[in-house]
A and B are shown apart, each in its own frame.
Chain A
């Protein structure tokens, strides 16, 4: 039986290795043919900001990997509408976002998931 797994990103990606290791989990879930959703909430919206330069921290830019999620059968990245608005951001400033979802719907997605992951 395939399960529904939801991966919540609530913080920026670079500056430590946690996000990279979290992304590995996401890809692994997809490799197991599970139904996978990736949702940005809170400060997680900063994760997908365009024009990040993690090279200046001598860190690998993991943003391009998000662009390849569809190759792994993942239905893209969803961003919470309120989180964007509260931070004065618009969708065009973000990289590779497939869906915008109101907070209430994010809640519903989490309620019906078999497993929820964060980092």
Chain B
């Protein structure tokens, strides 16, 4: 009998510059295909750059932002972007952007912006937490 493990994943690095978000994505895909559960992916620090809607990589390259969005659409994985990390770096939730006259469409589909509490709740609910990107 194989053991089913519940994971909470944290991504701390921006896409393309580091391998962290690729590794995290590959890990999540492998975990799911092995029958494990991914409770939540939490984007913290520079990891919030994974959630910018307007990322436009060249057509023959992997589209990291879309890849996450697909993970949410197909596997219903909760993709949470830390609100304070995001605001510090100029990624605003539509409702906040409206209040401060910021750009309202920055967040890519499939992601939601919320507090650090969701990370800690994810950790507590999971058997293991894994952090990608120092």
Measuring CB to CB, which residues of chain A are less than 8 angstroms from any residue of chain B? 3, 5, 17-18, 21, 24-25, 28-29, 31-32, 34, 115, 117-119
Contacts and interface: CB of A to CB of B under 8 A. Distances in A.
7 contacts: A3-B123, A21-B45, A28-B117, A28-B119, A28-B120, A32-B117, A34-B124
Interface residues of B, number: 16
Interface of B: 44-45, 82, 84-85, 88, 116-117, 119-121, 123-124, 129, 131, 134
Contacts of A28: 116-117, 119-120
A97 B3 CA distance: 41
Contact of B123 (A5, A24, A31): A5
B7 to A, nearest CB: 12
Given A17-B88, A119-B134, A32 B45 contact: no
Given A32-B124, A119-B134, A25 B119 contact: yes
A118 B129 CA distance: 12
A115 B123 contact: yes
Contact of B117 (A31, A118, A119): A31
Instruction: With a 10 A CB-CB cut-off, give which of A3, A18, A28, A32 has the most chain B CB atoms.
Output: A28
Nearest to A27: B116
A18 B45 contact: yes
B9 to A, nearest CB: 13
Contact of A25 (B116, B124, B134): B116
Given A25-B116, A115-B129, 6 more contacts: A3-B124, A17-B45, A17-B88, A21-B45, A28-B119, A34-B124
